[in-house]
Amino acid sequence: MERKSTEGFGMSFLSMLVFVLVASAATDTITPSRSIIDRETLVSSDETFELGFFSPGSSTKRYLGIWYKVSPETVVWIANREAPLLDRFGVLNVTKEGTIILLQEKTKIIWSSSRIRTPENPVMQLLDSGNLIVKDGNGSGSANFLWQSFDYPCDTLLPMMKLGKNFITGMNWSLSSWKSPNDPAPGQFLALIDPKGFPQLVVRNGSGILYRGGSWNGERFTGTPDLKQIESANLFKFEFELNRNEVYYKGEPYPALISRLSVNQSGFLERYVRTKQSELWMEIYSAPRDECDYYAVCGAYASCNTNNPAELCACLAGFEPKYPTEWDRLKWSGGCIRMTTPACQDSVFTKHNGLKLPDTSNSSFFKNMSLKECQVECSKNCSCTAYANSDIRNGGMGCLLWFGDLIDMRIYIDGRLVVRKNSSKNKEVAIIVIPIAIIGLVWGGIVLYLRWKKHTKQGGENDMELPVFDLGTIVKATDNFSDNNKLGQGGFGPVYKGTLREGQEIAVKRLSKSSGQGSEEFKNEVGLIAKLQHRNLVRLLGCSVQGDEKMLIYEYMPNKSLDYFIFDQTKGKILDWRRRMHIIDGIARGLLYLHQDSRLRIIHRDLKASNVLLDNDMCPKISDFGMARTIWGDQTEANTNKVVGTYGYMPPEYAVDGLFSIKSDVFSFGVLVLEIISGKKNRGFFHPEHSHNLVGHAWKLLMQEKPLQFVDCNLGDCFVLCEVIRCIHVGLLCVQKRPEDRPNMSSVVLMLGSENPLPQPKQPGFFTERNLPESESYSSTHHELASVNGVTISCLEAR
């Protein structure tokens, strides 16, 4: 947060001295007799929160906001989100009538608060909770509040703030994302408690739903099982209230922690915590987490399961795909329909355990009804499609009834839904049906297995589960692949920026006709990335296949790739330590998803700085899956006679023997961490005192207890020493020579976010890469190409 001098005010030395003395005596209140101008702040009594003027990102506009005093870049509330000040002459007052006003040049009102009555002695105060209030100084307690910022959330929910709705006053407590890092005005994503039917947590993207956290089941939202683990780990306590006057959700961390929940500019709900002694935020929850978290990905009457490598979506018992041909092509959004339409009197109910309850906006609920009574109630109404307990505590109580389609379900550890289906009328029918059903199940299993084998073997054009863009649309979007729109060139081919008719910006990766391996890489990338959904993976929007033209269409990343910043002495200044730490953590979480949490366990094999893209928020997204490989079940490694990847990021066992595993990516991640901290490339690194590469240099300095000499000079002294040393330490653990000595990515994420002691790293692999016997392993042509240009190698024979 900028704190500049008071030039332009023409203040005398004496008045300047008075200003400094007043500013240094931090206060948490002002009255009508005092104003706050730019460069002055209010500080809560426990010094957790600070209120003042700031400019977001690279913007020069000024906003009145509240942030954490030790983390000023973390802004939690803004008064004038849609009405910025155009200069540094803003003034904040509280009037005698109890209204907060924000003035431009002391006369023009830019923003003001509301009030419910006129106080005798109005006081504005910044509380230790982060709540900015106006109260009557003659009274005490929350009932004396005339206005509070907690009633007007921005993108962040603090402890004791409500998310929900007051049915009496109409007050709606919701979170809205920023438009961009430079513009805090309300963006396209809105997190709220939707009160329709049985209230539930949703994140809206415009008028549609991006993600549904589900309804409250007495312990947590049905779509967020992780909340139970968070609460049981003594990180947070949750509260949900539903009565005739209001519905709301709020949380409270345990005393030693500080917490916040926010919706970011990509629509992700994120919860962060940190100890009061630490400046490091730790992300403990983020959603959507995977492809099954996106709303209605499987359509109606189907459940989503990321643990099933053959089929993401499956119809509920008694239902079949609505569009079988599309279903065979792994396009599930059409959902399922009943195999037969039952007569109301003939229907029976089937239990489905371990299921996220469907969208409750078309449901009814009864608070004091048992599950047995709930079944009776559903049976009496032929429009009732399913029922469940609304509260799972104490053996289950409360009744939820669904009317209409059942949408947005996924496989979870707990949760039980009972669905109406048709029944057989007599035993004779049952005797015939049961053997046929068994034969059908066996045959269906064979068909599914063969279909799965077909998809995993072929991965070709006919198996794409992506939107297909017309070639003419892409030509128009890129201005006929104009050189002015060219973003870069890779081994696959050129990449262009494009703009679709509706204004959406895209990146188009065009397969080079002269690329010998491009077609296989194209199929591989489509087959893999189309199935992946994570905030730290670049999102594939579609493809275009027409004649010889093969193209992949991605979300556009306005901040290009990581190497564009970290290896440039000027642009590197943009990446302060907090951003670098955020990037390291994001890459780690993206790899963890690939290795462990995704439906397909994936080894990237070409992780490097140029394959990490940065979005508007400088959030890292791993890209380029053309070289990636899938591993199945308990498989942890594989062997190849062709080594692909980039010199400087390859581990020894892969570069020399062609043996790759998830630990290959861990090695590449370790190199990348050291590059991010130092601002230097591993390949081509030179030091006048030794012949080590960057990895060897880092190890040498850590052993000599001189880690600060490794830090990028662009950071100056603006970094957290213990975090820097820890990241160097973790990076060196990742580049150990033996794969078994390297941690897996789940351990890496934990090590980065904790303060526990770390094991001592051994001498890393490729400690001095220049000593590698190049002639024994690689052709000199390929070696020269890789070392000079850092281009991905895709056809090197291993020994």
List the one residue out of 96, 268, 114, 111 whose CA is nearest residue 188. Answer: 268
Give the Cα-Cα-Cα angle 55, 59, 64 (nearest 5 degrees): 25
Residue 294 corresponds to which amino acid? Y
Residue 553 in contact with residue 547, Cβ under 8 Å?
A: no
At 682-699, the pLDDT tens digits run 887 877 777 688 999 999
User: Quick check: 739 pLDDT over 60?
Assistant: yes
Task: Give pLDDT, residue 214.
Answer: 92
Give the Cα-Cα-Cα angle 171, 177, 183 (nearest 5 degrees): 115
Distance CA 361, CA 303 (A): 18
Residue 72: both structure tokens together: 């000023």
Q: What is the mean pLDDT of the chain?
A: 81
Residue 406 in contact with residue 358, Cβ under 8 Å?
A: yes
Distance CA 333, CA 313 (A): 9
DSSP label at residue 706: -
Task: Give pLDDT, residue 66.
Answer: 98
CA dihedral 677, 679, 683, 685 (to 10 degrees): -100
Residue 91: both structure tokens together: 């003034």
DSSP label at residue 792: P
- Say which range, 243-257, 327-341, 391-405, 520-534, has the weakest mean pLDDT: 520-534
If phi over 0 gives left and psi between -120 and 50 gives alpha, with beta otherwise, what is residue 758? beta
SS3 589: helix
List the one residue out of 562, 557, 594, 556 whose CA is nearest residue 579. Answer: 562
If phi over 0 gives left and psi between -120 and 50 gives alpha, with beta otherwise, what is residue 514? alpha
Distance CA 92, CA 90 (A): 7
At 280-292, the pLDDT tens digits run 788 888 888 888 8
- Say which range, 61-75, 214-228, 612-626, has the weakest mean pLDDT: 214-228
Q: Does pTM surpass 0.85?
A: no
In the chain the domains, ranked by start, together with CATH numbers, are 1-152 (2.90.10.10), 155-289 (no CATH), 293-424 (3.50.4.10), 464-555 (3.30.200.20), 563-797 (1.10.510.10)
Distance CA 53, CA 622 (A): 35
Distance CA 69, CA 50 (A): 5
Residue 229 corresponds to which amino acid? Q
Distance CA 48, CA 127 (A): 9
Residue 455 corresponds to which amino acid? H
Catalytic residue among 606, 624, 665, 712: 606
- CA 360 to chain centroid, in Å, comes to 25
DSSP H or E run through 695: helix 694-703
Q: Is 606 a catalytic residue?
A: yes
Give the Cα-Cα-Cα angle 100, 102, 107 (nearest 5 degrees): 115
Confidence of residue 164 (pLDDT cuts 50, 70, 90): very high
Residue 645 in contact with residue 793, Cβ under 8 Å?
A: yes
Distance CA 200, CA 198 (A): 6
DSSP 303-360: EE-TT-SS-SEEEPTTEEESSHHHHHTT--TT-EEESS---GGG-EEEEEEEEPPPP-
DSSP label at residue 151: G
| Cα-based distances in Å from 406 to 224, 350, 356, 358, 660 | 18, 14, 11, 6, 43
At 475-514, the pLDDT tens digits run 999 999 998 999 887 667 789 999 998 888 999 988 876 5
Residue 711: both structure tokens together: 């830090």
Confidence of residue 394 (pLDDT cuts 50, 70, 90): confident
